[in-house]
Every structure is written in C-alpha cells, then in structure tokens.
C-alpha cells in the first residue's frame, strides 16, 4: 500500500469534511458517483463510440456509455449528446476543431469580465489558433448589454459566438444571442459549465432551444464527476442546410463526434462515463430540482447579506448559484489577501478579477462565491447567513490571527453536524 498517497487522500477528505467550500465551480458528488470512478472500468480502452469501437471487449462499456448518452438527452431534452470530453475545456476545443478553421473569428465573453479561458483568451489554444474578439459588461450595471453584443458581431462578423461564463451571476438571453448570430451567419455555442444543473431542472433559461451547440462540465451545479459533455437541441443537426454530393444532409452530430474523437482525444474514460451516467440519473430525480432551487435561494440570501452590509455585488445580485464581490467597496482589501485569510479559517473561496479591475489576476479586487457545494452538504438559508457573518468577521479582522483561528474552530465544530461520505 502506498501510505504516502493514502495519507494525503485522507488528509484531503478531512479538509473537505471540516471546511466550508464556497468555490463556485466545485461540488460534492454522491458516494455512488465517486465510487464508480474507482472501478475496473478504468482499465478498458474503447476508442470510438458505442457499436463502433477500435478495440474488442467493449460490449459492457457500450451499454454504460449508451445509458449515459440517453440519460443526458432526457435530462436536457437534447437530440444529440457526446459524453466523452474529459473536461469542459476539451469539449470546447473539440467544438472549435469541428466547426472552425484556424484564424476564424470567435466572439466570446471577456475573461476579465467573467468569461472563460477556453473562449478565446490569448493564453489559451482558443486565442492562439483562432481570432478572438470579446463583449463585456457595462461599467455602471455590471450587465451584458445585448445591443453592444450586436454591434460587435456586426462589425467583426464572427464564425462562432459563445455565450457562457465562469463568473457571471445573471441569466442569459439565448434568444437574442441567436437572433444576432443569425444576422451574421455565426454558429452559436452556449457553454453552460456553471449553471448546467439549474438549467436541467428549468430553473434558468434553456439554451438548447436557441443555441446550435451546448457544452458543459459535469462537476459544477450538475454534481457529477469531473468531466465534459456536448449537446444539441432538437432540429439543430444541419445548421447550414447543406448536403453532401449525394444529397445527404451534412450532420453536425457526426462532425462534433469526430471533433472529440479522433480530433481531440483518444480513449474515453469509461469509469468517468459510468459516474456521469449515475449523476445524470440523480439529476433526473425530483429531489434534484429541490436541490437546485435551494442553491438559488441560498445564493440570493448570501448576496443580500453582503449588499446590506456595504459590499458591492457585481450586477447587484444573482439569478444563479454564484456572485462576484467587488472588494473595492471595502477599502484596500484585495481578493488575494481575503482568500488567504479565509483559507486559514477553513473557508475556501477564490480570488477573482472584477470587471475593469486595476489589479492583476494574482491579486484581484474581488472574490467569487458559490453555493452549490454547501447546499449539497445540507446548508439552507440560515446556514448561509452564518457563512456571511464568518466572512464579514474575517474581513473586519483580516490581520488578527487569533480572531481567524477562533472562526476556524467554530467552522470545524459547525461542520461536525454535516457529515461528508460517512461510508468511508
Ligand atoms: N476555472 C473554472 C472555474 O472555476 O470556473 C472553470 O474552468
């Protein structure tokens, strides 16, 4: 037995058990989802797709992957689903590869306003191989201005437009994005990595009605294993209306599948796909809708508590599971310093650039907070009021190690009543 690594895994379990997890992109899977990832399925090579593999012995994994695909289609009302992307970034890379030529223009949401690296950031493949242009939020409202998106699209004529973010607390107007995409002949991609679980239960607008392609991760609000997916809604399989020389429609689903494999990836991770299938089954249940609504209620209570106590929430509130807090309303406090102080109290958040930030991404003027993980642990609105009090206390005593240590002890005692993975 590798005691070194086993002890470190135990240490991480203790950290997760006793701390308060507020990173907006994290969650706690069910024990069953987690167990599936540590099974013999990891040993199987299965390049290709169910029924069309390049290896023998794929009968069982074919069944598992087919169930994952069918459950995902049912969950979102999708016509097409690919469950093989290893991550959200790789799902996006496969879509870019499938739909674009090097140098094509892509219009995405600015990373420094809340977008994502894989939507055209110059340090990412998407900004190196393609030509990125961006829309952002308005300085006064913190909201995306759809008229501005339209103006940029008309000027830049992108081949692909992307709606979706890592740190935007408002819902998306997918219908208007689609109308703009149609004006300039662009494909429209919604990256729903963050709000996917909430969308799946009808708690936020539905991108599959309007966007040609939808990508996501599976481990954020969807509460599955770490991974990615690609979907298409009904009637989007031939967005160009083009046919082959033989008169057959050119199918986007086939192009996307080949973008993932063999385009971007080799063998799919069938142990992860099994865990995805289990989590999609969980998300199909009615109780997952109750969970999603609680995530939103908790985020709203927390955002209101911050606002009522003089913190500036970008856009003035939240429709989803997260909020971006501009700490410039609290003097010289930086995101980096607050993240470090909170970690000492076993409260985990991440520092985050805010729109029009004058500090670097390593320092930042903001923090991002999400409620999905602690809602999975059983937190309701009263627990989130307590979370606000702890964070506010640390802001007020940021250099007082004793005060921080007292909060840590309180947090650790509090979390004893919210067990995590008692099976272990
Ligand atoms: N960077 C991740 C997040 O935290 O939102 C998404 O990839």
347-348/350-352 β-pairing: unpaired
The residue nearest atom 1 of ligand 1, judged by CA position, is 166
* 133: phi then psi, degrees, rounded to nearest 5: -130, 155
What tokens were used for 315? 């856009």
3-state class of 48 per DSSP?
strand
Give the integer Cα–Cα distance in Å for 163 and 134.
Answer: 11
* CA proximity to 412, closest of 136, 144, 3, 18: 18
362 CA distance to ligand 1 centroid (A)?
15
Contact 130, 102 (CB under 8 A): yes
Q: Is the CB of 352 under 6 A from ligand 1?
A: no
* CA proximity to 326, closest of 137, 316, 144: 316
The residue nearest atom 4 of ligand 1, judged by CA position, is 25
**Strand stretches in 235-287, DSSP E:** none
Q: How far apart are the first and last CA of the chain?
A: 17
As a three-state string, the secondary structure of the chain is CCHHHHHHHHHHHHHHHHCEECCCCCCCCCHHHHHHHCCHHHHCCCCEECCEECCCCCHHHHHHHHHHHHHHHHHHCCCEEECCCCCHHHHHHHHHHHHCCCCCEEEEECHHHCCCHHHCCCCCHHHHCCEEEEECECCCCCCECHHHHHHHHHHHCCCEEEECCCCCCCCCCHHHHHHHHHHHCCEEEEECCCCHHHHHCCCCCCHHHCCCEEEEECCCCCCCCCCEEEEECCCCCCCCCCECCCCCECCHHHHHHHHHHHHHCCCCCHHHHHHHHHHHHHHCCHHHHHHHHHHHHHHHHHHHHHHHCCCEEHHHCCCCCEEEEEHHHHCCCCHHHHHHHHHHCCEECEEECCCCCCCCCCCCCEEEEECHHHHHCCCCHHHHHHHHHHHHHHHHCCCCHHHHHHHHHHHHHHHCCCCCCCCC
Q: Is the CB of 166 under 6 A from ligand 1?
A: yes
Q: Which residues contact 145 (CB under 8 A, 6 or more apart)?
A: 137, 138
Nearest ligand 1 atom to the CA of 89 is: 7
Look at residue 250 in the predicted model and tell me its pLDDT: 87
What tokens were used for 266? 């080799």
- Tell me: the pLDDT tens digits for 251-302? 999 999 999 999 999 999 999 999 999 999 999 999 999 999 999 999 999 9
328 CA distance to ligand 1 centroid (A)?
23
3-state class of 108 per DSSP?
strand
Q: Which of 121, 166, 192, 369 to mutate to test the pocket of ligand 1 (most atoms within 8 A of CB)?
A: 166
Query: What residues of the chain score a pLDDT lower than 70?
Result: none
The residue nearest atom 3 of ligand 1, judged by CA position, is 25
Give the integer Cα–Cα distance in Å for 89 and 60.
Answer: 28
Enter the DSSP assignment of 389.
H
Nearest ligand 1 atom to the CA of 25 is: 4
The residue nearest atom 6 of ligand 1, judged by CA position, is 166
Q: 249 forms bridges with which residues in the sheet?
A: 243
Look at residue 238 in the predicted model and tell me its pLDDT: 86
217 CA distance to ligand 1 centroid (A)?
10
The residue nearest atom 5 of ligand 1, judged by CA position, is 166
Look at residue 48 in the predicted model and tell me its pLDDT: 98
Pick left, alpha or beta for residue 297 (phi over 0 → left; psi -120 to 50 → alpha; otherwise beta): alpha
Enter the DSSP assignment of 166.
S
Look at residue 235 in the predicted model and tell me its pLDDT: 83
Contact 146, 162 (CB under 8 A): no
- Tell me: the pLDDT tens digits for 360-407? 999 999 999 999 999 999 999 999 999 999 999 999 999 999 999 999
Which residues are catalytically annotated? Answer: 45, 47, 191, 217, 220, 226
25 CA distance to ligand 1 centroid (A)?
6
Look at residue 19 in the predicted model and tell me its pLDDT: 98
Nearest ligand 1 atom to the CA of 118 is: 7
335 CA distance to ligand 1 centroid (A)?
16
What tokens were used for 126? 């998407």
Q: Is the CB of 118 under 6 A from ligand 1?
A: no
Nearest ligand 1 atom to the CA of 193 is: 6
Give the integer Cα–Cα distance in Å for 151 and 139.
Answer: 17
- What is the CB neighbour count within 10 angstroms for residue 331? 7
Segment (H or E) for 133: strand 131-135
Nearest ligand 1 atom to the CA of 26 is: 4
84 CA distance to ligand 1 centroid (A)?
19
């Amino acid at each position: 037995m590798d005691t070194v690594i086993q002890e470190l895994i135990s240490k991480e379990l203790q950290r997760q058990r006793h701390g308060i997890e507020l990173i907006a992109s994290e969650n706690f899977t069910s024990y069953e989802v987690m167990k599936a990832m540590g099974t013999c399925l990891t040993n199987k090579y299965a390049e290709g797709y169910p029924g069309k593999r390049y290896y023998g012995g794929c009968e069982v994994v074919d069944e598992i992957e087919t169930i994952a695909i069918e459950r995902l289609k049912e969950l979102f009302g999708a016509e097409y689903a690919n469950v093989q992307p290893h991550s959200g970034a790789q799902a996006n890379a496969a879509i870019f590869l499938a739909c674009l030529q090097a140098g094509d223009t892509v219009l995405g949401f600015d990373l420094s306003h809340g977008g994502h690296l894989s939507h055209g950031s110059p340090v990412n493949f998407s900004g190196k191989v393609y030509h990125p242009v961006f829309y952002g939020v308005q300085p006064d409202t913190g909201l995306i201005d759809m008229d501005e998106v339209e103006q940029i699209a008309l000027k830049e004529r992108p081949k692909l437009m992307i709606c979706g973010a890592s740190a935007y607390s408002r819902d998306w107007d997918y219908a208007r994005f689609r109308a703009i995409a149609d004006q300039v002949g662009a494909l429209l991609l919604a990256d729903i990595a963050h709000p996917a679980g909430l969308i799946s239960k009808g708690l936020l607008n539905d991108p599959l009605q309007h966007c040609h392609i939808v990508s996501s991760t599976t481990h954020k609000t969807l509460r599955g294993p770490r991974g990615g997916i690609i979907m298409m809604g009904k009637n989007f399989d031939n967005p160009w209306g083009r046919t082959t020389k033989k008169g057959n429609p050119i199918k986007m689903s086939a192009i996307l599948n080949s973008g993932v494999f063999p385009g971007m990836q080799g063998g799919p991770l069938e142990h992860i796909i099994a865990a995805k299938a289990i989590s999609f089954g969980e998300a199909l249940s009615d109780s997952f809708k109750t969970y999603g609504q609680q995530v939103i209620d908790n985020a709203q209570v927390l955002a209101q508590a911050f606002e009522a106590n003089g913190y500036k929430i970008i856009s003035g509130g939240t429709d989803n599971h997260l909020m971006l807090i501009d700490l410039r309303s609290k003097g010289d406090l930086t995101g980096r310093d607050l993240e470090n102080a909170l970690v000492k109290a076993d409260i985990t958040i991440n520092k985050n650039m805010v729109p029009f930030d004058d500090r670097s991404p390593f320092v930042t003027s903001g923090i991002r907070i999400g409620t999905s993980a602690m809602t999975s642990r059983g937190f309701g609105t009263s627990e989130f009021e307590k979370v606000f009090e702890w964070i506010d206390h640390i802001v007020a005593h940021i250099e007082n190690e004793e005060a921080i240590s007292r909060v840590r002890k309180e947090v650790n005692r509090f979390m004893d009543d919210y067990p995590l993975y008692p099976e272990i």
